[in-house]
Structure 1
Amino acid sequence: MSAEPTIPRAEGPSPQAAGAWAAIVDVLDRAGVSTLFGLPADDIALLRALAGRPRPDVVVARDQRAAAYMAIGHAQASGQVGVVVVGKGPAVTTVSTGVLEAATAGTPLLVLAAGTPAARRDTGAFQELDQVAVMSPLVRRALRADAPERVVPLLRHALLTATGPVPGPVYLEIPDDLLEVPVPVPDGPVPPPERAVTSVLPGDARASRLVAGARRPVVLAGGGVRSAAAGADALALAEGLGAPLFVTASGRGAVDEDHPHFAGVSGLYAPEETAELWAETDLVVALGSRLEETATYGWPETVGTDVPVVQVNRVASEFSTGFEGPLVLGDAGPVARGWAAGGAGDARWRARVRDSCARAAARSPELPDPSSGRPPRVLDVLAVLEAELPADRVLVGENGLADMWTYHWPAYTCRSVGGWVVPSEQTPLGFGVAAAAGVKKALGGRCVVAVVGDGAFTLVDADLPTLVDAGLAVLYVVVDNGGYGWLESQRSPGDGVAAGTFAAPRGHPPTLTDPRVHHEVVTDLAGLVPAVRAAYGATRSGRVAVVHVPIGLDDGPHAESVLEGDFPHLAGT
């Protein structure tokens, strides 16, 4: 038996940093963090600690919630942990919506917050709040550094926890009394853990036997596949089994949507050409999904009863126990690769799948005739964006009545060289507007376009100067139906809800007053292509660009009622 290895130790005490933020910045830099987002507390100790350093840099937002969305977008686009910095009390409760989004999306997010000094807790101090208790239900870990020597160890622990093996948000509180005291900083970064591949399931397991014996399988990839970068493995499984590959809304962007086995978004957003495959399947393999209701909407009653659903997730809390079938605890990538290697598939089912997927893909929206004289609709906008923007552009999504068109593949395709950043099942309003800034920060010269509703845009447009100041040249397309169109579209004459409660009539979209933002309103098809070209050109020169497109309340894939009698200028376009 060999002796335990000797661990080298540095001679003498660790170097000292001049305050907690100087120590934190040093550790984050060594960990590869390039950018911080946030609105620091009343002091500017963090900004002092960053002064004169090449990295990380900081994007100072106007709103803590928007800062969290930016950090999430940056994390999803860069593969780094997102870092958001906020103050105490109400700053922490404001950022909590972004923390909820990161938790649901499985995005690594580190929240660094100021805190009340230990000596003043429970005294009614300024902005005092039991922040650890508030954040604990939303994060992987909620931590507080109450001594100088605990700052760096807790920060390192937070980074390891946030990044995996199940990514998510972590909260670390830095009380104000640690701002000026020396903080020890050990030399060198913490090496990342070496991960053993233990998720290859034996061939005699029930789940493996069901997969091997399926004649008409369907594969579903959720947000867990995206966060684990296992999209290629999911596609390999679909190819090996001859199965269609559906994604959930939060799994959008996990796989190449030009692949011949890609079948679109499952459930509420499924194309009719591939939705019919659910009625014929004899097995569903769900990778990295909680199987929430929008993903399973419209599934036949036999799925999950007579037709088993094999679920693969990294943690047990992600399983849905409402479906009959084996539960596999493991990483989707290795599991899918193992099953793909033994897949044979049924030749008739494989041909059926490819035909259905091809017919669905053929329904991509056509470029509109600019001479028609009619106002543009959302599908016109998407077709023009597809034609005019570079192939490696990245689409950032929202989720409202009109911008929900982007969920309907192939309304806007996702080439392998492009990509998607989409909200999770939480779909917080304004996520895509702010997240686009973080995506642009991560991707630099690539085109980043966010298709958003006017309700979402107005919620976050206070941070447009943040994008301008930071040189984050995002192209925003605002499909504007006058308010919160999803709610307005559900109003009916007999329910007592006044017309215009959620979407008020108005003649034109609001004018953006910042001259540094390129802004154009498009009211007819003839102006759509020139407006998109000009906006893209503006982003190429480093300017934020906004294209406003007024649309009707009937312009949404699930709008069931139209207020033609009340607001004729909003409807029937």
Structure 2
Amino acid sequence: MDCFPSAWHAVVDHLGAAGVTVLFGLPGDDLALLPALDAGGPRLVLCRDQRNAVFMATGYAVQSGAPGVCVLGKGPAVANAVTGLAEARSGSAPLVVLSGGIPAEHRGSGAFQELDHLGLVAPVVKWAHRVDHPSRVLPALEKAFLVARSGAPGPVYLEIPDDLGSIEVPARPWSPPPVLARSVPPREDGALDAVRAAERPVVLVGGGMRHRAADGVVERFADALGAAVVCTASGRGAVLEDHPSFCGLSGLYAPAAMAPLWETTDLVIAVGSRLEETATFGWRPDLPVVQVNRDAAELSTEHPCARIVGDGADVLDRWTRAVADRPPNADWRAAIRRCREDLHAGAEAELARMRADPRLHVAEVLAAIDAVVPPSRVLVQENGLQDMWSYAFPYHVCRSRGGSVVPSEQTSLGFGAAAAAGVRLAAPDRPVIAFVGDGAYTLFRSDVDTVRREGIGVVYVVLCNGGYGWLHAQRAGRGLDAQRYPFAADPPPDGPVITDRARLEDALREAVVTSERRGVVTVHVAVELTDTPPGIDEPDGDFAAAAGGTGHAVQR
């Protein structure tokens, strides 16, 4: 073939060459993409809301590590996608967004849906480009996928003006996928010396290690060094939380029982984390840090520390061998063991107290999920007031690699609800539970039928408290009028709402089985607005100062 019939035929051909099997979106009204798909191409999950489409593609990318692909129309369609692009950029998700656009001959004429797409999306993507000539379509497509995956992954935007949808595009062989070589830093500026000298080390695992630690490199390093292991919220699933050195999350989500370890540690080894303020919340100002990231742009300069630009898995593997002759500190290992014992004993005592209360508690919902859903599950989370219980270890324990997907520090409301569909398509053999608040679920409602129609098996566990619980708590803390600002005044959902803990496990068990046969199943659970996770008792305190939007900041 000397030419593709159109730019969109070239797009579909390249998606096949790149191994893309599914894309998400809502094409423009010229529908130029669809004939190209009919000729043979990936599955299109046809959405009703462009933001949900980008969230789904982002969920697919986060879970699989491969680029998620989203297709859009122009003008307001691209504007609707900006929230999802910001989420993908913040969460380092490889994402390729393809949209239509005004032909060059009509730009500046006030054409229908004319909008400066590049100016709109440039601040929230790694690369934004418009193709204006048929000969540039193929190089632009290849570059889009290269940029999305390289360095710190992230979203790219490629505009294909509408006139290219009916013009032949010169064909040529596609280049093979790039070899993403692991990097080993030639010099370490004393970082390894600091690691070897540490007597009470803590390894902090960020989201950058999500697809780099499947062979257990973090656990091997921690065992050799005698280190405690913690993670950021998006780092969950990179390590197995049943490991005897794992002690929960860092910063804002650090469990209180870990305070003695944070007070006495003499080195934090941060791998794949940006060390934003949510990850370092409450740290001692003098806490020594070594930071490893594969992209210099991902390194924090807020803390004086030794910094390594390199692949975290390679660095930890080399350091594991380098500390093999160094005996771990037995007292520190004992302190880590006591911390885990205290964490689990405290959670068990708190759950026992909750079960003596006639009201159903969010932590009990998480315990029921743990009891009846296989350990291979993926829990996809939001950031509302009640669903933040899922960040509290050990109330939620990630028992499998890749078993947790969270929003980035943008905490876009509705991200988890929509992303769960992409996660399930990326992990078709794993149960996917979307653990979301009713406010987030309401924003996603326009595409619940999309997920159902596509037969995508997701169980939505919806915590019903009447709306935006976090904003409600903020309003109450400031003494503002509830009638004038009714953040938690949404009507109850259609259908049954579980209020009785005796029904909970059976309902979840049935939902998981049914979702495998029929797709979407929603389990509504009534929760109290006062049922807040540990450490979130005073919404006007430091916690609130670090939070933002309708949710709460998340560490990478």
| Deviation by residue 1:40-97 (Cα, 9 ceiling, x = unmatched) | 01111112111152x4110011111100110011112223210011111111111111
* SS in structure 1 at match of 2:451: helix
Match of 1:4 in 2: none
Out of 535-544 and 124-133, give the one that drifted further.
535-544
In 2 relative to 1, CA 286–540 (structure 1 residues): closer, same or farther, beyond 3 Å?
same
Aligned AA for 1:326?
A
Match of 1:392 in 2: 376
Residues 349-498 of structure 1: pairs in structure 2 closer than 5 A: 349-364=332-347, 374-416=358-400, 419-492=403-476, 495-498=479-482
Query: Shift of the alpha carbon at 1:29?
Result: 0.6
Contact 1:492 1:561 in 2 (8 A): no
Out of 553-562 and 281-290, give the one that drifted further.
553-562
Aligned AA for 1:331?
D
Match of 1:80 in 2: 66
Match of 2:146 in 1: 160
Q: Which runs of 5+ in 2 are unaligned?
A: 540-556
Match of 2:3 in 1: 16
Q: CA–CA distance in 2 between the matches of 1:418 and 1:241?
A: 24
The structure 2 residue matched to 1:541, chosen from 504, 517, 526, is 517
Contact 2:378 2:405 in 1 (8 A): yes
Q: Which runs of 5+ in 1 are unaligned?
A: 1-13, 512-518, 563-573
Match of 2:507 in 1: 531
Residues 9-408 of structure 1: pairs in structure 2 closer than 5 A: 15-53=2-40, 55-187=41-173, 189-200=174-185, 202=187, 205-229=189-213, 232-303=216-287, 308-343=288-323, 344=326, 345-364=328-347, 374-408=358-392
* SS in structure 1 at match of 2:202: strand
Query: Shift of the alpha carbon at 1:492?
Result: 3.9
Contact 1:249 1:265 in 2 (8 A): yes
Contact 1:71 1:438 in 2 (8 A): yes
* SS in structure 2 at match of 1:312: strand
Q: CA–CA distance in 2 between the matches of 1:464 and 1:296?
A: 37
Q: CA–CA distance in 2 between the matches of 1:462 and 1:534?
A: 25
Q: CA–CA distance in 2 between the matches of 1:229 and 1:41?
A: 40
Query: Shift of the alpha carbon at 1:510?
Result: 1.8
Identity of aligned residues (%): 49
Return the TM-score normalized by structure 2. Answer: 0.91
Q: Please provide the CA RMSD for this pair.
A: 2.2
| Deviation by residue 1:340-374 (Cα, 9 ceiling, x = unmatched) | 21223322212322332343245555877999682
Aligned AA for 1:560?
D
In 2 relative to 1, CA 448–129 (structure 1 residues): closer, same or farther, beyond 3 Å?
same
Aligned AA for 2:492?
P
Q: CA–CA distance in 2 between the matches of 1:92 and 1:505?
A: 32
Contact 1:250 1:425 in 2 (8 A): no
* SS in structure 2 at match of 1:491: helix
Query: Shift of the alpha carbon at 1:131?
Result: 1.0
Aligned AA for 1:194?
V
Q: CA–CA distance in 2 between the matches of 1:73 and 1:505?
A: 30
Counterpart check, 1:554 vs 2:530: yes
Q: CA–CA distance in 2 between the matches of 1:152 and 1:422?
A: 34
* SS in structure 2 at match of 1:336: helix
In 2 relative to 1, CA 365–464 (structure 1 residues): closer, same or farther, beyond 3 Å?
farther
Contact 1:32 1:80 in 2 (8 A): no
Query: Shift of the alpha carbon at 1:502?
Result: 4.2
Match of 2:546 in 1: none
In 2 relative to 1, CA 257–500 (structure 1 residues): closer, same or farther, beyond 3 Å?
farther
Q: How many residues align?
A: 534
Query: Shift of the alpha carbon at 1:133?
Result: 1.8
Query: Shift of the alpha carbon at 1:501?
Result: 2.2
Q: CA–CA distance in 2 between the matches of 1:16 and 1:411?
A: 57
Query: Shift of the alpha carbon at 1:198?
Result: 3.2
Q: CA–CA distance in 2 between the matches of 1:149 and 1:185?
A: 9
Counterpart check, 1:510 vs 2:497: no
Contact 2:497 2:524 in 1 (8 A): yes
Higher relative contact order (CA 8 A, sep 6+): 2
